[in-house]
Chains A and B, each alone.
Chain A
């Protein structure tokens, strides 16, 4: 149980375009999902907390107009990177919160902006 999927697993896009990443909880309902970013050899950085049916809460320094988050259902949250630039290239990982505060991570999406 507690399986979280992400799609796509990797994506290459041109600078200036937008990319959407989907995060799904497959076998449980997640009222809260989280989006993280991780650069090589660095720790996880929380970008935002996504609650079903409400606006996401962004961490300090994360541009909400650049990283659009939608949590439309109890099993799906999406992150759209708008007007992507090479510095946005990173490993994006979502997680879904279970019943005892634990977080289950998706496999991650590796974004490369050329």
Chain B
């Protein structure tokens, strides 16, 4: 059974601070790693993808992947109230993705 685990939160971060979201996965053969953002009542939105070890930056977002530790994280710099949402970690191979249960993030103004 492939598993993806996330801290369900809620995680509260002051506006302007760095939010750090973590995810671990069980399948060592996983090849692709994604972070999705889901606002309440809406569908998930892809915000980051990462495929190799190290960091990948896109604007205020940085994804970090460590395959040896089976760990992937998402950092959000200069957090804004609009970043308040549930963040889903997804891990996959050739076909379907396995999603974590999500971490609810609240940015406090």
Residues of B within 8 A of A34 (CB): 96
**Shortest distance from the beta carbon of A57 to any chain B beta carbon, whole Å:** 9
Q: Point out the residues of chain A lying under 8 angstroms from B96, CB to CB.
A: 34, 46, 49
Q: What's the nearest-Cβ distance from chain A to residue B3, in Å?
A: 12
Size of chain A's interface in residues, with CB distance under 8 A? 17
What separation, in Å, do the CA atoms of A108 and B43 have in the docked complex? 6
Mark the stretch among A64-72, A80-88, A98-106 that contacts chain B: A98-106
CB contact between A103 and one of B46, B100, B101 (< 8 Å): that residue: B46
A107 located at the interface, meaning its Cβ lies under 8 Å from any Cβ of chain B in the complex: yes
CB contact between A44 and one of B34, B42, B99 (< 8 Å): that residue:
B99
Distance between Cα atoms of A104 and B34 in the complex (Å):
11
Known A43-B101, A43-B102, A44-B88; judge A102-B32 contact (CB<8 A). yes
5 smallest A-B Cβ distances: which pairs?
A101-B32, A108-B43, A43-B101, A105-B43, A93-B43
**Which residues of A are interface residues toward B (Cβ below 8 A)?**
2, 32, 34, 43-44, 46, 49, 93, 100-108
